[in-house]
């Protein structure tokens, strides 16, 4: 991914650099070629206009019907000369067409020769040789003006050709930049596609590994929970059968021994006290046996086991429980019943340990193919990162409890879900939903 990102960034930077350079070159070419060509064309048209005015003036000077002397046109020639010199100077500044040195100096030299000839003609007219001056205009000055007009026309044609070439170059640059941009875009898309495909392939492989690990973890959790329940069942049976029978036998023997002693005997009183201690131990052993593995769960079902457990839960863990039941449960698989029973035990144990309250509400509901167990308390609450299945943390700085993780594992073993909801006003709701299969 990093390599693909670097390649994509490199392509984007190269594309931006190339496009920026081409645009800068195009801007420079337009400013140095197109704009200056237009300026040069304007100056050449200005020069041509001045030459046309000179041609018209010379035609009038040769008109025999005109009574004006040749010297009368001297001021007009001077005005045209100033404008023509300015136009030539400006044209030389903006001209960029590739011309030979002879072509570059031809126009200026021809103009200088024209003005030298015009000065001689006006000098001849001032000396009283107007007929000779008119002949010089017809023979020399008009020919020079025509040659200048032809030279300016050639320059205009050449300038137009240069302008056309500049336009073609600009179009070529646009086409080349467009092709390069399409090429850069194609390369970028290929890199992005290759990177995306590689990421997808890597993610699929990683997700497959995670799924395999999750399946292994579920299998391991199932085996551990099954082994734990089997161990607890064996210990419960040992307590009930061995220790229970032993304590029951001790009680019977103590009772028979007490009957053989006379009333008022101190030994009889001691035997009665020992019998009470043995009975108390028997009650504790039976309660511990039921806590480890309730035999009533297998004999009478989940509902009876829950009622029996809740009847003694206040005495065992100090929590007052209000119990309600909705609907009728169908016969459940023992594997499902024991997991629901364990979730209830763990939830009430967490209430006693962490909720900082001595009251809870338990609801057992059978609704639309689902078994739902809800445990509510009004304690300090549990903050979950995702509100449902996040990593829970006990409120007010308490450390996380592993019991919630165990409850989730048990819910997953029976294809159920465990939701943890915390009210802003305090209190926690644990909701277990288990599908009811036929």
382 membership: H or E segment, kind and range:
strand 382-383
pTM of the model as a whole: 0.48
Q: Is the dihedral of CA 330, 335, 336, 340 positive or negative?
A: positive
Query: Dihedrals φ, ψ of 387, to 5°?
Result: 80, -20
Q: Both tokens of residue 209?
A: 């590994």
| Sequence ranges of the domains in the chain | 2-196, 301-435
> Of the CATH numbers 3.10.180.10, 3.90.550.10, 3.30.565.10, 3.40.605.10, which one belongs to the domain with range 301-435?
3.30.565.10
Least confident range of 104-108, 203-207, 331-335: 104-108
- Candidates 401, 399, 391, 396; CA nearest to 381 is 396
Alpha carbons within 13 A on the beta-carbon side of 156: 15
How do residues 343-398 score in pLDDT, each as one tens digit? 988 888 888 888 788 889 999 988 878 899 999 888 776 654 333 333 344 433 33
Three-class secondary structure of residue 359 per DSSP:
strand
Q: State the fold for domain 2-196.
A: 1.20.120
How do residues 231-284 score in pLDDT, each as one tens digit? 877 787 777 677 777 778 888 887 888 777 777 777 877 887 888 888 888 777
- Candidates 370, 309, 319; CA nearest to 344 is 309
Calculate the CA 80 to chain-centre distance.
Answer: 72
What length is written for the chain?
438
Calculate the CA 388 to chain-centre distance.
Answer: 25
d(CA 355, CA 378) in angstroms, rounded, equals 8
């Amino acid at each position: 991914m990093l390599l693909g990102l670097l390649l994509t960034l490199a392509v984007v930077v190269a594309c931006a650099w190339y496009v920026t350079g081409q645009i800068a070159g195009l801007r420079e070419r337009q400013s140095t070629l197109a704009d200056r060509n237009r300026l040069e064309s304007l100056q050449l048209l200005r020069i041509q206009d001045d030459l046309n005015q000179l041609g018209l003036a010379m035609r009038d000077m040769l008109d025999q019907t005109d009574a004006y002397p040749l010297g009368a046109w001297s001021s007009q020639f001077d005005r045209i000369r100033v404008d023509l010199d300015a136009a030539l100077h400006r044209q030389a500044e903006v001209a960029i067409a590739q011309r030979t040195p002879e072509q570059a100096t031809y126009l200026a030299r021809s103009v200088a020769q024209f003005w030298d000839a015009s000065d001689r003609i006006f000098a001849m007219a001032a000396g009283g040789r107007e007929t000779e001056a008119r002949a010089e205009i017809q023979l020399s000055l008009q020919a020079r003006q025509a040659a200048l007009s032809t030279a300016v026309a050639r320059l205009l044609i050449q300038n137009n050709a240069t302008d056309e070439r500049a336009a073609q170059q600009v179009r070529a640059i646009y086409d080349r930049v467009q092709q390069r941009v399409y090429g850069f875009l194609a390369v970028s898309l290929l890199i992005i596609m290759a990177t995306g495909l590689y990421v997808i392939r890597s993610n699929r492989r990683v997700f497959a590994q995670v799924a395999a690990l999750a399946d292994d973890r579920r299998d391991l959790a199932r085996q551990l929970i099954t082994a734990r329940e089997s161990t607890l069942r064996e210990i419960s049976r040992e307590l009930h059968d061995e220790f229970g029978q032993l304590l029951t036998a001790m009680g019977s023997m103590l009772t028979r021994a007490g009957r053989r002693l006379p009333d008022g005997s101190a030994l009889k009183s001691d035997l009665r006290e020992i019998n009470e201690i043995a009975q108390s131990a028997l009650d504790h052993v039976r309660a511990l046996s039921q806590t480890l593995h309730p035999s009533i769960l297998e004999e009478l079902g989940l509902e009876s086991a829950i009622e029996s457990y809740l009847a003694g839960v206040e005495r065992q863990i100090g929590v007052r429980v209000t119990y309600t039941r909705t609907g009728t449960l169908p016969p459940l698989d023992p594997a499902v019943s024991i997991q629901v029973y364990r979730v209830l035990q763990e939830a009430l144990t967490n209430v006693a340990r962490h909720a900082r309250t001595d009251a809870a509400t338990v609801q057992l509901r059978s609704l639309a193919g689902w078994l739902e167990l809800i445990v509510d308390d009004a304690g300090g609450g549990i903050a979950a990162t995702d509100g449902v299945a996040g990593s829970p943390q006990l409120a007010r700085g308490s450390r996380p409890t592993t019991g919630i993780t165990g409850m989730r594992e048990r819910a997953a073993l029976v294809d159920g879900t465990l939701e943890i909801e915390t009210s802003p006003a305090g209190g926690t709701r644990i909701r277990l939903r288990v599908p009811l299969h036929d």
